[in-house]
Chains A and B, each alone.
Chain A
């Protein structure tokens, strides 16, 4: 290579290097502005957390509010080595061991730095903090960060409200910068469904700090700072008094209650028993302890029986069988049948009560005659000939879907299950698996006519089907959301307005509603009679593989212009009229009349005292 060229290039590169080095040197030692900035060892982003939106019930009664707590942060470098540790621990209510273990972090771990504040003690209650705050100036290096956790004035509606918890790293990654470490987020129930409304926005302040962690000033004169914005206040459809009363009625029982306002689809109460005190799962210092206790509880209080438990509905299913049969034209409402207490078709199917022969559909519903409905479901399936039960069944299943059965309702509530409504394809698979032959006969499966066999519904679905009957042919997706409250004004919701219409003639609904009314007046559900209110209901007694029959009851009231539709399940307790119907009727009475009539206080007392969990099942006492 030509020496000349080489020297020129080398010289150029040396000059370039010289310029680079000088610039580094200039920044390091001569640029006064940057020198000053460098003294603020770091730019710190200080977060102020928003208050989460409060939640009110339909009557503007407070359900969930915010409890301020303080996270105490420590800046290791600034802590006075000779501080009064004993007094400090006493003020914060911690012991010396906690103090030492929480303060001496693993400094080789990059997560912690001696010159950056780190969370020292989390969630100190306000009263405790008040004492500490006065003395805080004696303990340099400690600072406090205001956070909000949830509080519940009445310990009710734990499942419906859900809870919040700290976001995990996967959620942070997914959220695209919305959530950061240490943020809270709704994990279940309404807290989760309306997270975006409730959460609010964090505020940020950018502070320049020197290398001792002392604030020197605000960054760019606060041009980038923003204030925290509180979350929206939410009104939900629950009736807190009804919810509380229902939870009391369901105490010491396993089961679930869902009540809906038929005209709007608003959920009035949603109870899964046994329930738990929502204050236990608020993100305070003892949360972990209570959470694991609830998880380990054999009664599974965290399990939501309203949408996650699928029950055979039992006889309440007869109402929709009747409706589908009427619309399909295979059921004559004026024809009766002979009930000899049992029905023989290959094997003997029993009727559960002894009663007179039903002369028509009304009698059959009133007496909940199994034989009648065995015959009717057989007629439904065999509508297109006994060789084609699948065609009739699929038509029937189509009507069930219109009622929201066998599919998810689409509530603003998580973990809904669809239940089971069999179809031709379902039985073909089933029989092929059993016998390697997919042909099946209506006669094999008549138990679905009384809501047994493979039929399964959730409590929410049962309440919804009752609401659909009460509405004479349509339903609105059950929901909690009533709207956001802005400037003390409810902003009405527009999410749940669609009417799901059912292609069944309204006059058929009247026929079935008459039958349900007669069931209450003179039939199996007489215990649900209310003074001055026309109640339409249907009992059910669901045989199930988990033990004694479930007591099932669904009803709506009043008959005209209905205000409430309700479904109640009391697990493993027997006849529908014994346990479920009293609970449902008391709730309806309380909701419509505001109080329980003095003639029924015995029933209220009995229901409150019944304990199906802790002692053997008592024999139902009779009316005095």
Chain B
């Protein structure tokens, strides 16, 4: 009963499961090493406390992934509008009454179960699902501005605009993902540029709000981070310096697992700067490895969704993957001082609380799409037939493959 055989229960692309597993394993090692000094501060040197916490979170995350990937992914199509509509009041509530940490209201605490989470994590998922649904439903008349584009553009601007005041980096990441999704969803360049223009307008509005209500938005933090980044004469601020030293320490092969010295000097080494620790302990080889893992993940997904009979699955999986991979790149870019400090974590690797759960749900959904595609491949070796059938039963949403064959 309890024996879950991999074959039967864990479906979907095996290679992707493997990549996820390796990333989680990497995360456990790196976090265990990076939390050493914190463990001495809080738990009298009981370094296993953080390892255990990370293990438990990874376990819960895998359970989430398992549960989400067992669903038929079409259920996310049905849920998308509800989840999206729920995101708006949640974000508004967070801006008004959220828990304040480091001057930013990002968190809310769920009553009864007493679990706090970042509403932007949830909103990201909801928006990507909703976008996937809208873009796939309106494939036929996507070139029409009023009926097709407005219902796609307004949600993006709304959600990003609500996230931006407290969490600009997440908002920018989400906006970038949305633009790429539109590109994938065959929205014309004209509209995409238009949306970018509106995005800039919105950003201007947020700054204007700050001008009048300086407490509402963190514009001052943004400015100081960006000036810190630009005025880079002595090699940046303390964090950046330490991060660079860590990377340089690594050289080709690194100092070896658990031998980082910079973990004692890097603030939040277990989250924001985990990539620097990986560089230090595993060298350029390890750093390349982890980068390739994310790349591989993206390529794998984009190969798989090629075979997707429905546009919704393809756009959904692609959107979630792009979001996570770009987030990973953004995190690494902070460590190597390509962009200003953001606070984005390295998905599946960084230590984190509830955000791990949302990442896991995202992977679960991706795997659910992959499982479905695998299953139709097994049943019908010739996908064309399946596609025809699909097209006949549900004529409205045309598949992407259909159109690309024109």
- Seen from chain A, the residues whose Cβ lies within 8 Å of a Cβ on chain B are 1-3, 5-6, 8-10, 13-14, 16-17, 19-21, 23-25, 27-29, 31, 33-35, 37-38, 40-43, 109-111, 113, 115-116, 169, 172-173, 220
Does B295 lie within 8 Å of A20, measured CB to CB? Answer: no
Does B235 lie within 8 Å of A5, measured CB to CB? Answer: no
Can you list 26 contacts pairing A with B, beta carbon distance less than 8 Å? A1-B184, A1-B306, A1-B404, A2-B184, A2-B186, A3-B404, A6-B302, A9-B180, A13-B326, A17-B294, A20-B336, A20-B338, A21-B291, A23-B337, A24-B336, A25-B284, A27-B337, A28-B251, A28-B284, A31-B248, A34-B235, A34-B248, A38-B245, A42-B264, A113-B261, A173-B41
Does A13 lie within 8 Å of B306, measured CB to CB? Answer: no
Cα(A79)–Cα(B14), bound, Å: 52
Of all chain B residues, which has the CB nearest A110? B36
Does A13 lie within 8 Å of B248, measured CB to CB? Answer: no
Cα(A8)–Cα(B247), bound, Å: 31
Q: Which of A1, A41, A43, A220 contacts B302 (CB 8 A)?
A: A1
Which stretch, B42-50, B201-209, B388-396, touches the partner chain A? B42-50
Does A27 lie within 8 Å of B302, measured CB to CB? Answer: no
Neighbouring A residues of B351 by C-beta, 8 Å: none
Q: Kindly list the 9 A-B residue pairs having the minimum CB-CB distance in the complex, ordered from nearest.
A: A38-B248, A110-B36, A23-B336, A27-B247, A34-B248, A1-B400, A34-B244, A2-B404, A1-B314
Cα(A333)–Cα(B294), bound, Å: 98
Cα(A509)–Cα(B149), bound, Å: 95
Does A37 lie within 8 Å of B180, measured CB to CB? Answer: no
Q: Is B333 an interface residue (CB 8 A)?
A: yes
Given contacts A1-B306, A9-B180, A16-B329, contact A169 B44 (CB under 8 A): yes
Neighbouring B residues of A40 by C-beta, 8 Å: 245
User: How far is the CB of B329 from the nearest CB of chain A, in Å?
Assistant: 5
Neighbouring B residues of A172 by C-beta, 8 Å: 41
Q: Number of residue pairs across A and B with beta carbons under 8 Å?
A: 124
Cα(A268)–Cα(B65), bound, Å: 73
Neighbouring B residues of A116 by C-beta, 8 Å: 261
Given contacts A41-B261, A42-B265, A110-B45, contact A10 B299 (CB under 8 A): yes
Given contacts A1-B305, A17-B291, A20-B291, contact A27 B184 (CB under 8 A): no
Q: Is B318 an interface residue (CB 8 A)?
A: yes
Neighbouring B residues of A17 by C-beta, 8 Å: 291, 294-295, 329
Given A21-B287, A42-B262, A43-B242, output 18 extra A-B contacts at Cβ < 8 Å. Answer: A1-B308, A9-B184, A13-B326, A24-B284, A27-B248, A27-B336, A34-B247, A34-B248, A35-B248, A41-B261, A42-B261, A110-B36, A110-B37, A110-B39, A111-B40, A111-B45, A169-B44, A172-B41
Interface size classification for chain B? 35 or more
- Seen from chain B, the residues whose Cβ lies within 8 Å of a Cβ on chain A are 36-37, 39-42, 44-45, 47, 180, 183-184, 186, 234-235, 241-242, 244-245, 247-252, 258, 261-262, 264-265, 279, 283-284, 287-288, 291, 294-295, 298-299, 302, 305-306, 308, 311, 314-315, 318, 322, 325-326, 329, 332-333, 336-338, 400-401, 403-404
Neighbouring B residues of A29 by C-beta, 8 Å: 251
Q: Which of B245, B288, B308 contacts A21 (CB 8 A)?
A: B288
Does A109 lie within 8 Å of B45, measured CB to CB? Answer: yes
Cα(A6)–Cα(B181), bound, Å: 10
Q: Which of A5, A10, A28 contacts B250 (CB 8 A)?
A: A28
Neighbouring B residues of A2 by C-beta, 8 Å: 184, 186, 400, 403-404
Interface centre among A5, A19, A41, A42 (most CB of B within 10 A): A5
User: How far is the CB of B385 from the nearest CB of chain A, in Å?
Assistant: 20
Cα(A8)–Cα(B404), bound, Å: 15
Cα(A109)–Cα(B39), bound, Å: 12
Q: Which of A1, A10, A27, A109 contacts B298 (CB 8 A)?
A: A10
Neighbouring B residues of A16 by C-beta, 8 Å: 329
Interface centre among A19, A40, A41, A43 (most CB of B within 10 A): A43
Given contacts A27-B247, A37-B248, contact A10 B302 (CB under 8 A): yes
User: How far is the CB of B383 from the nearest CB of chain A, in Å?
Assistant: 14
Of all chain A residues, which has the CB nearest B291? A17
Cα(A34)–Cα(B336), bound, Å: 12
Cα(A158)–Cα(B401), bound, Å: 89
Of all chain B residues, which has the CB nearest A4? B404
Neighbouring B residues of A14 by C-beta, 8 Å: 295
Cα(A3)–Cα(B186), bound, Å: 11
User: How far is the CB of A456 from the nearest CB of chain B, in Å?
Assistant: 41
Q: Which of B37, B247, B258 contacts A28 (CB 8 A)?
A: B247
Neighbouring A residues of B315 by C-beta, 8 Å: 1
Does A8 lie within 8 Å of B183, measured CB to CB? Answer: yes
Does B183 lie within 8 Å of A5, measured CB to CB? Answer: yes
Interface centre among B44, B245, B288 (most CB of A within 10 A): B245
